[in-house]
Amino acid sequence: MVIDHDDADDITQNVFIKLHSALKDFRGESALFTYLYKMAVNFSLNHIKKVKSKQMKETVITNDMINNISDYSNYSSGFDSDNRSRLIAEAVAILPDKQRAVFNMRFYDELSYEEIGSVLDKSVGGLKANYFHAFKKIQSFLKDKKAKGEID
Amino acid sequence: MNNSNSNYEELLYNLPDYVAGKITDENLLLRIQSELNSNPEFKAEYDLLSETYSAVKDMKFSEPPVHYFTNLVPKINEKINKQKESKGIAGFFRLSNLVKYALPAVSVVLLIFVITFSNKNDKDESMFTRYSDTISEIMKLDSETSNVSVDVETDTALESTEEEGFTDSDDASELSGIENENIIELYDENGDSEDEYFYYSDFETLSQIEQNELINTLSETKF
């Protein structure tokens, strides 16, 4: 979800540290996997929020819009330098947070909608709609890049 | 119309899973296939989605370094230990601990402080009483034994000095004592002046023991 390896590393460590301290309060109402996954998603979403607000503050302070655009290169730092992969990474990175979470959980982690629903507290129908719209946005992004000749 | 729209929407939202081959519901599979055959718009959506799906599927991730996972557990353990240590120090200064330990400690210190100072005040008060008693005794003794009355006879002596040419050295010393205002003003318990004066000359009339006692009392008294 956060793409950058260093960020992912920090979040992974923090999730396990949190789990270590919170495990005594775990009541077993949900599977440990769901509990841990939910924690990881929340940490990731919080991290994304922090990064976004930091970027917005920097933009306001410096009034440098170019920095904002060039930040896309950071999103793709966790991917191969292959142009297509980089563009897809960018497309995934600009998805709305919750939509990106659904996309990652369904596409990469292959979780069932029921499992995703228990993590994000959403209905199966809503998740299916989210997943479809995520694809449509990626599709639209790639089409736009194709039109500009940035992709074959 | 609404029913067919919601039906179409439902099939559309299941399209990514259909492309991925993840739909197990036979009835849903048949409905999607039927729609694909009958609806060109739906077919176009399917083609575009298949293309996007393949593109995303082909995306390559760069793997984390080989040592990453071997170092992860020690790193987490180290962080947990650090947190425990910092909690140990910071925990001492927590509000609950302050209420538990610091508040009683401060109360005890305050109590000791109050007790100490109230004792000191009692001591001062008892010294003042002792002083007052001693002076009263002296005055009483003086009025009983002295040949010269302080109030009346000193005034008489003054008058006689003016009239008769006073030469007596003892009486002269008495006068100088008055003139130098070498007197001790007496106060009642409320600190008001009682308009009675203890003159230096009176001191000389006291016995050595009484003089010493008075000196000791005065030297201990804080004015």
A79–B15 CB contact, under 8 Å: no
Q: And the tokens for B136?
A: 């009263």
B16–A88 CB contact, under 8 Å: no
pLDDT in tens, B4-40: 777 888 999 999 999 999 998 999 999 999 999 999 9
Asked whether the predicted pLDDT for residue A152 surpasses 50, the reply is yes
DSSP string, A13-74: HHHHHHHHHHGGG--SSS-HHHHHHHHHHHHHHHHHHHHHHHHHHHHHHH--HHHHHHTHHH
B73/B75 Cα distance (integer angstroms)? 5
B78/A17 Cα distance (integer angstroms)? 10
**Which residues numbered 83-102 in B keep a CB inside 8 Å of some CB on A?**
83
- What pLDDT score was predicted for residue A69? 37
Contact A120, A102 (CB under 8 A): yes
pLDDT in tens, A15-62: 998 888 888 888 777 788 888 888 898 898 888 888 877 776 655 444
Question: Which residues of chain B make contact with A16, given a CB cutoff of 8 A?
Answer: 76
- Looking at residue B222, the DSSP 8-state letter turns out to be -
- Point out the residue among A17, A80, A139 whose CB comes nearest to the CB of B52: A139
Q: Identify the CA nearest to B60 among candidates A151, A79, A67, A92.
A: A79
Q: And the tokens for B139?
A: 């005055």
CA B195 to mean position of chain CA atoms: 48
Q: And the tokens for B196?
A: 């009675």
| Lowest mean pLDDT, pick from A68-77, B139-148, B165-174 | A68-77
B13–A135 CB contact, under 8 Å: no
pLDDT in tens, B164-212: 444 444 444 444 444 444 445 555 555 455 455 666 677 778 888 888 8
How close A75 gets to chain B, by Cα (Å)?
Answer: 13
Question: Which residues of chain A make contact with B79, given a CB cutoff of 8 A?
Answer: 13, 17
A12/A102 Cα distance (integer angstroms)? 19
A139–B14 CB contact, under 8 Å: no
**Which residues numbered 10-39 in A keep a CB inside 8 Å of some CB on B?**
12-13, 16-17, 20-21
- What pLDDT score was predicted for residue B122? 65
A57/A36 Cα distance (integer angstroms)? 32
- Looking at residue B196, the DSSP 8-state letter turns out to be E
A78–B62 CB contact, under 8 Å: yes
- Of these ranges, A61-70, A79-88, B178-187, the one predicted with the greatest mean pLDDT is A79-88
pLDDT in tens, B82-99: 887 777 666 666 666 677
How close A88 gets to chain B, by Cα (Å)?
Answer: 7
- pLDDT mean across residues, chain B: 73
A80–B83 CB contact, under 8 Å: no
How close B55 gets to chain A, by Cα (Å)?
Answer: 8
Asked whether the predicted pLDDT for residue B114 surpasses 50, the reply is yes
- What pLDDT score was predicted for residue A32? 84
Averaged pLDDT, A74-79: 43
pLDDT band at B153 (very low <50, low <70, confident <90, very high): very low
Instruction: List Cα–Cα distances, A27 to A9, A21, A22, A30, A32, in angstroms.
Output: 27, 14, 10, 8, 10
- What pLDDT score was predicted for residue B100? 73
Q: Identify the CA nearest to B133 among candidates B184, B185, B188.
A: B188
- pLDDT mean across residues, chain A: 79
- In angstroms, the first-to-last Cα distance of chain B is 107
Question: Which residues of chain B make contact with A139, given a CB cutoff of 8 A?
Answer: 48-49, 51-52
Rounded to the nearest 10 degrees, the angle between the axes of helix B26-38 and helix B2-13 is 110
Averaged pLDDT, A67-86: 51
Nearest chain B residue to A137, by CA? B52
Asked whether the predicted pLDDT for residue B148 surpasses 60, the reply is no
For B23, residues 6+ apart whose C-beta sits below 8 A from its C-beta are B14, B17, B29, B32
- % of chain A exceeding 90 in pLDDT: 20
Averaged pLDDT, B74-78: 88
Contact A111, A104 (CB under 8 A): no
Asked whether the predicted pLDDT for residue B44 surpasses 90, the reply is yes
- What pLDDT score was predicted for residue B127? 66
B82 touches chain A (CB under 8 A): no
Q: And the tokens for B76?
A: 């987490």
- Point out the residue among A5, A13, A129 whose CB comes nearest to the CB of B76: A13
Q: Which residue has the higher pLDDT, A146 or B137?
A: A146
- What pLDDT score was predicted for residue A134? 94
Instruction: List Cα–Cα distances, A17 to A11, A22, B98, B128, in angstroms.
Output: 10, 9, 27, 71
A140 touches chain B (CB under 8 A): no
Averaged pLDDT, B74-79: 88
